Amino acid sequence: MEAPRGALGERSGAVEGLGVSGETFWPDRPVLVTGVTGLLGGWLTHALLERKAKVVGLVRDWVPGTLLTRSGDEGRIAIVRGDICDQELLERTIGEYEVRSVFHLAAQTIVGVANRNPVGTFESNVRGTWCVLEAARRSPTVTDIVVASSDKAYGIHDTLPYSEDAPLQGRFPYDASKSCADLIAQSYAATYELPVCVTRCGNLFGGGDLNWNRVIPGTVRSLLYGERPVVRSDGQYVRDYLYAEDAALAYLTTAENLAGRRELRGQAFNFSTESPMTVLEIVARIQQLMQRTDLAPDVRNEAKNEIPKQYLDASKARRLLAWQPHFGLDQGLSRTIAWYRDLLRAQ
């Protein structure tokens, strides 16, 4: 399968006169990406390689068929095998590769898994975060760290959309793990002046997501097989959906601005298209794009410990980082559908 194509080749958006230019910032820059085999990790790695950065990826389990492998980028980066909770390994990696930028994406991201195995989720998401931050704190070379939080870190609020000043009050295991990791990152910035920012995105989607339990890849695969798409909730949960290429550019923009602007240390940024939809609405949109409206969704209403309505206000990122999405929802979904069509045709 060809390497990803699209907006990732475009210049990312440091604020003129404040942040640094991506055209000069990334070439030959040593960058550590944790969670490099995941959906966002694959797209972010490709974006960094297009900008001629020197990428180091941390990998615990090797999963065949990831975006990193299918794009050919696996052979273009240094790979360190190990666990995100191994602080000694992280310190060695940052030291030996003289890492300057850190993108901490590694996490256990599945709500159902968190409900069944909360301790493992807390280990990966909470302990893993402080291990990365402590390793970075001990390094003289690191100048910017972007930590992936989530809209789930906010927990349940009556006031929508969520802005960055909303309290972090996750209650269920996955949500609580993201609240904790988010607060730990802010604590390191406040206490040690560590150059770290936190990103909070809605539901990411795009080619490369191999978790078929998620609504978008699961729906696309079902429709390609001529089967009814499965909706595990009642279909009325409301979420943001952000295309992964846009999320990758958001992370680049955050790092570029953070490196040149001390006032951004410890701040959090929401990234969203600000177009919330119900699960059934996103399924219907995919059906229309794939011309399979004849296959009615199989609504099972089995989801538990999930937030009913959650979406984000991204005005702060637009104002302070000059960020905006490059892709509309239909364009992102069409590119995603094409990726899965190629994947499943090749199997």
Catalytic residues, by residue number, are 174
Contact 250, 142 (CB under 8 A): no
The burial class, CB within 10 Å (0-12 / 13-18 / 19+), for 296 is exposed
Q: How many CA atoms lie within 13 A of 299 on its CB side?
A: 12
- Measure the CA–CA gap between 186 and 193, rounded to whole angstroms: 10
With a CB cutoff of 8 Å and minimum separation 6, the contacts of 52 are 26, 27, 28
- Measure the CA–CA gap between 51 and 147, rounded to whole angstroms: 21
- Measure the CA–CA gap between 218 and 210, rounded to whole angstroms: 9
Contact 336, 205 (CB under 8 A): yes
| Ramachandran angles phi, psi of 76, nearest 5° | -110, 5
Contact 127, 170 (CB under 8 A): no
- Measure the CA–CA gap between 133 and 33, rounded to whole angstroms: 13
Contact 269, 198 (CB under 8 A): yes
Contact 67, 336 (CB under 8 A): no
- Measure the CA–CA gap between 150 and 314, rounded to whole angstroms: 13
At 199, which helix (H) or strand (E)? Answer: strand 196-201
Q: What is the DSSP letter of 19?
A: S
- With b for 16 or more beta-carbon neighbours within 10 A and e for fewer, the 155-175 pattern comes to beeeeebbbbebebebebbbb
